[in-house]
Amino acid sequence: MHHFAAYFNWDNHFTSSSSSSPIPLQELENRENPGGWSVLHVAVYCGGKRLLEALLQTGMDVQLVDSKGATVMHYAVQAKGTEDDEGAGNLVGFLVDRPAFYEQLKVVDSEGRTPLHVAFTGQYLGAVRRLLAQGLTAKMLSIGKPEVPKEGANLTAYIDASPYVTFSEEELARGLAVGELGHGGSPLHWANDFDLLERLLKLQAFRVNGRNLQGDTPLIAFIRRLGAQEAASLDSTVVKVSNKKTTGHSPTPKRGGKTPSKHQKPKILTKLYHHQKECSKRAAAAARP
């Protein structure tokens, strides 16, 4: 009965019972169903904020996982409304401000996916934007191929000491290539603005030679976005911008806009090119006996 009430977002079913005769916690936490869902899993997926507030006041265990090891945040990022900013702000933001749910972003399910894997690869853009605005660690923001836990392994949060990265509203509005988010990778793959890319590279928190789920480095991912015609002239573009000091021509990059200007594009390419080349040199030097 409680699961059905959560599914249909009947928050009065839980609020009216809280004072007179509280619902036993074992009933709220009951997961004897095909998916192993608790009432909280169902409530989060159906996107009822008032219902969530009522359930959180009961003191029920918020760390319960379903039959596949998915936490409440695995459900929250793909809940109703998370494909737009309004829905994400009302639900994901409500939960992730609480430490218990923020920590769930690090938990891996039985398929090797964190809630961020689900949000990015499923392109739940509202949830993604809200989480990026909240701020995440560099390790959280490195969306690679899920690694299925070995049989018998505990599905727990991984240790994370990587730098904390936040994104401003302006960067989220004009600095991200939305179409790249579903391919995973890191913010270096998604940066579509020179100022954002410059800031991320200075952090030295992400692998310049790292590959997204398509096998592309940040440089290749950016080239793909340029289109076939511009990609064909990559070599000449890189050489021209690299040698701008000898030629005396240095175009002034334009600011603003949702996509890089014609002056920003070669600048971004060159920056990625040289960082990737430098990382390759250091890796080769470290490999020598």
Check residue 54 and give its pLDDT.
83
Per residue in 131-166, pLDDT tens? 998 899 999 999 998 887 766 555 556 678 899 999
User: Domain coordinates of the chain in residue numbers?
Assistant: 176-289
260: nearest Cα among 248, 272, 245: 272
Check residue 212 and give its pLDDT.
94
Question: Residue 128 is which amino acid?
Answer: V
Q: Which residues contact 34 (CB under 8 A, 6 or more apart)?
A: 67
**Confidence at 266, pLDDT banded by 50, 70, 90:** low
Beta bridge partners of 136: 165
Check residue 231 and give its pLDDT.
46
CB-based contact 183:213 (threshold 8 Å): yes
9: nearest Cα among 37, 36, 47: 47
